[in-house]
Structure 1
């Protein structure tokens, strides 16, 4: 079993090497670009992609994971967030992440997670499942009104963000400059009372039902 690991924390990396099975090979990458290029070159050779989500760049990394799932939909991705965020969990599972675990997960627990993922199911933990049940019974129109003040162009940008597109990709798709995209985002954040791309993406998903 060969696993690509996006991990910038030496202690977590050491732990992962101690808990994987003896027939496992962990390949370490420390940047989004390195992960993307490695998967692009040999996407079929990795059984899993483990991603450690650090506190410092949490929201940014969540959106980069979204981009990876969009680019490599067949790759089994398991995230290991260093902080608890139901919003991030819902965002990630909605784009195809296979599992979410604690960074210092135990050996037997990891084995169980991988067996569940291999069977085609997702592993999210009790808290996530409870949140998912609550959301499934909530009215579909919740939060949609927060997008009503956006212009047509701003709605297009919000929709693109919900799909995990970068500013550069949005600019190319819409035929505008990256500077204009940033200006639209500043306006959107203010009108919707969202603080970052993750919050905006979650809000936009309630309208566009992105999967």
Structure 2
């Protein structure tokens, strides 16, 4: 497995190399231009793209990541902010990035993150995602109309998503298959005009 890493911090880069598995190859670039060049040359060569977010230029870098993801929407992007920013996280999750982690994440935790993101889920750490949901205010005027369109099963799925549960956990809670959960979610996203789990969770919590 190859991971493209936009990382300008030598200490964090050293840590990443220490926690990845033996079968994983990290490819480091230090400029945004190099990220674009690598992905334009062969995006399919990289299973993930790790991006270290610096404190000094966080808002600017967040927008650069947004533009990058817009150019390569099929790329699984995971950001590692040196300092948590709720506004930055919301901005990034709203456009579809796959996850956010601490730069000095542990080996087992990183393995879990890659497993979750690889299966198509979003990773922010359950507690952090719930914090975003609780602290964010979604427009509520159309909330009841949008959720009233859902079937009882679909509403159950939406409420479980709002609690931060994964598809597998929802399947266990509702005693249905993960495939059925995915089918319900596809329908829910369409009916509520939401495009990802975070947007749906914000709507369900409104």
| 1:119-130 alignment runs, 5 A limit | 119-125=119-125, 126-130=127-131
Q: What TM-score results when the alignment is normalised by the length of structure 2? A: 0.66
Q: In the aligned structure 1, how far is the partner of 2:195 from the partner of 2:3?
A: 28
Shift of 1:4: 0.2
Q: Does residue 14 of structure 1 match 2:47?
A: no
Aligned to 1:114: 114
Q: In the aligned structure 2, how far is the partner of 1:94 from the partner of 1:9?
A: 26
Find the residue that maps to 1:75 and give its secondary structure.
Answer: coil
Aligned to 2:40: 40
Find the residue that maps to 2:73 and give its secondary structure.
Answer: coil
Deviation string, structure 1 residues 86-120 (Cα, Å, up to 9, x no partner): 11111001111101000000000000001100111
Aligned to 2:133: 132
Task: Give unpaired runs (5+ residues) of structure 2.
Answer: 143-193, 197-206
Q: Is the 8 A contact 1:89 1:128 kept in 2?
A: no
Find the residue that maps to 1:28 and give its secondary structure.
Answer: strand
Aligned to 2:93: 93
Q: Note closer, same or farther for the CA distance 1:71–1:15 as it changes in structure 2 (3 Å cut).
A: same
Task: Give unpaired runs (5+ residues) of structure 1.
Answer: 142-208
Q: In the aligned structure 1, how far is the partner of 2:60 from the partner of 2:195?
A: 19
Deviation string, structure 1 residues 120-140 (Cα, Å, up to 9, x no partner): 100012123222245366536
Q: Which has the higher contact order (CA 8 A, sep 6+)?
A: 1
Q: Note closer, same or farther for the CA distance 1:136–1:121 as it changes in structure 2 (3 Å cut).
A: farther
Aligned pair count? 144
Q: Note closer, same or farther for the CA distance 1:13–1:140 as it changes in structure 2 (3 Å cut).
A: farther
Shift of 1:19: 0.2
